[in-house]
Amino acid sequence: MTRPPQRLRPRYGRIVALTGSLAVTVVAVLGGAGVLPTGATPPATAATAHGALSPASSRVGTMRADTDTDAGADTDASRATSDDTRVLPSTDTALPDGSGTGRRVVFSESRQRVWLVTQDGRVERTYLVSGSLTDNLGVGRYEVYSRSKQAWGIDDSGTMRYFVRFAHGGNAAIGFHDIPVLDGRKVQGLDALGTPQSHGCIRQRRADAVALWRFAPLGTRVVVTA
């Protein structure tokens, strides 16, 4: 007894696979011949056609933490914000006459500006600052006698960093530091630099505070001019 002839069923899986392989081969040949433009998107695979994530779309994004830590001056300098590194309006940047010689930090009260001067008299850096609202600092020569990377102001005036002290005020030390932070916010904007704003010290933007911290170890001369 013979079996009736069986009808051949098309094997769709193999057809799809062969079709896909043929398409890839054609794309490769045409691409190699210069028919297709460089960077043409290849045909979608079965996985991407059915909504599966491609390797590019399955990557997990990462965020870099930008917290303010005591990791050091190098870290703070590299993390300066765009606002902190922008160039402030330039005024008269000439070094004041009669500021002495040798390595020194010069602060002009009338111009609200600081200069970092090297041993050979070259100005390494100059920038606007915010000094005291009161006349609590006399013209003269001083010397750095204390430094603190983190400090707290008197009368709940906030916290500050890179404090370089060189004079003694009536109630507290006087020195250079960055703009204090109170309740999570800076107590003044960068646009106010160049005008007196402080209770007694000399405020600097963070990048400049870091630069002076590096420049002025204990014993560094500080010259205050009118």
pLDDT of res. 157 = 73
pLDDT of residue 112: 97
> What pLDDT sits at residue 90?
57
Residue 36 pLDDT: 39
pTM of the model: 0.64
Q: pLDDT at position 72, please?
A: 61
The pLDDT tens digits for 68-97 are 333 566 566 555 544 554 555 556 899 999
Domain extents for the chain? 11-38, 97-225
Instruction: Specify which residues 224 forms β-bridges with.
Output: 107, 140
CA angle 81, 130, 104 (to 5 degrees): 95
Position 91 scores a pLDDT of 65
pLDDT of residue 80: 53
**Residues in the chain where the model's pLDDT stays below 70:** 1-91, 156
The CATH class, in words, for 97-225 is mainly beta
Q: Strand (E) positions, the chain? A: 104-108, 113-117, 123-128, 140-143, 146-152, 159-168, 173-178, 181-182, 185-186, 202-204, 221-225
The answer for 155, left when phi > 0, alpha when psi is -120 to 50, beta otherwise, is left
Q: Which two tokens stand for residue 65?
A: 């933490």
pLDDT of residue 127: 98
